């Protein structure tokens, strides 16, 4: 039996949808903290296991009889300690194989968001030390993040960000979910680390050119100072943590931290992932 963690989150929903498309109903259960959010699965006859990562005592029953666990990483600011408890609970329950979704980045030690993102690699280390079999899916940036970071006026006013010429191999969340589902239903992936990214990487100038093709209007990219972006976000009432995370992520983009184009996603999909223009048409639809 496979257990899908984070099943009511955005990536988890895509994984479940792909498992159902693969006619795998009955081969997996979903883990959820909130029974009301999980009702969409219960109504389809999918087994729901209730468990809370912040309540370790709830995880033993949720993990009972599970052989393979898709551990979708959380966004908790206490992620390291939280996920350590999950790994220990999985080991104690006898889970044989963890598939963990982490981060595809060149050098976490020099990342501008190291203090938050290092917990991904701490979790990987704990999984390796647990004695369980493992597979690590290091996810790159979601294509959906392009619209979030570029802002709501990107199509009319262009893109103004301090990203320099940094490139990112974006991929759609749906295709990442499909790749994870294919891996969970397959064999022979134990001990592998996969960079789940696009096969090509693109800069913000490339994105602006793609948006120009999409809209038929000239969409430009302006490389602005970090402080200009920070000032605009503060003026809009954006919380300090979100400003820090956004600026740090864009600094890492500028510094080439996410420029790790890989064929791992393509291999797991069995086809080429969506092109930049196809992703932009989906994201900005």
Q: pLDDT under 50 in the chain at which residues?
A: none
pLDDT of residue 76: 81
For the chain, what is the largest distance between any 2 Cα atoms, rounded to a whole number of angstroms? Answer: 58
pLDDT digits (tens, 9 = 90+) for 36-94: 999 999 999 999 999 999 998 999 999 999 999 999 998 887 899 999 999 999 999 99
Kindly report the pTM of this predicted structure.
0.94
pLDDT at position 75, please?
84
Q: Number of C-alpha atoms within 13 angstroms, CB side, residue 91?
A: 15
**In this predicted structure, what is the pLDDT of residue 128?**
97
Distance CA 33, CA 28 (A): 17
Task: Indicate the Cα dihedral angle 188, 193, 195, 199, nearest 10°.
Answer: -50
Tokens representing 158 are 């262009």
pLDDT of residue 250: 97
């Amino acid at each position: 039996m496979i257990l899908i963690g984070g099943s009511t989150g955005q990536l988890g929903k895509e994984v479940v949808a792909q498992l159902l498309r693969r006619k795998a109903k009955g081969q997996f259960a979903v883990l959820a903290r909130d029974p009301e959010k999980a009702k969409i699965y219960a109504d389809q006859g999918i087994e729901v296991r209730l468990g809370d990562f912040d309540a370790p005592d709830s995880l033993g029953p949720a993990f009972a009889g599970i052989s393979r666990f898709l551990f979708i990483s959380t966004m908790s600011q206490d992620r390291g300690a939280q996920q350590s408890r999950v790994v220990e609970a999985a080991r104690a329950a006898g889970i044989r194989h963890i598939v963990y979704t982490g981060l595809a980045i060149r050098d976490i030690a020099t990342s501008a968001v190291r203090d938050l993102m290092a917990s991904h690699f701490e979790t990987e280390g704990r999984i390796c030390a647990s004695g369980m079999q493992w597979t690590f899916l290091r996810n790159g940036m979601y294509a959906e993040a392009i619209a979030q970071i570029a802002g709501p006026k990107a199509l009319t006013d262009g893109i103004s960000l301090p990203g320099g010429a940094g490139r990112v191999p974006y991929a759609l969340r749906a295709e990442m979910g499909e790749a994870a589902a294919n891996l969970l239903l397959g064999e022979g992936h134990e001990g592998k680390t996969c960079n789940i990214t696009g096969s090509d990487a693109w800069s913000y100038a490339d994105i602006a050119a793609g948006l120009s093709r999409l809209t038929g209007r000239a969409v430009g990219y302006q490389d602005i100072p970090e402080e200009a972006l920070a000032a605009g976000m503060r003026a809009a009432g954006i919380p300090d943590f979100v400003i820090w995370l956004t600026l740090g992520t864009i600094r890492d983009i500028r510094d080439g931290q996410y420029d790790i184009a890989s064929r791992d996603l393509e291999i797991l999909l069995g086809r080429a992932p969506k092109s930049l223009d196809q992703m932009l048409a989906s994201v900005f639809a």
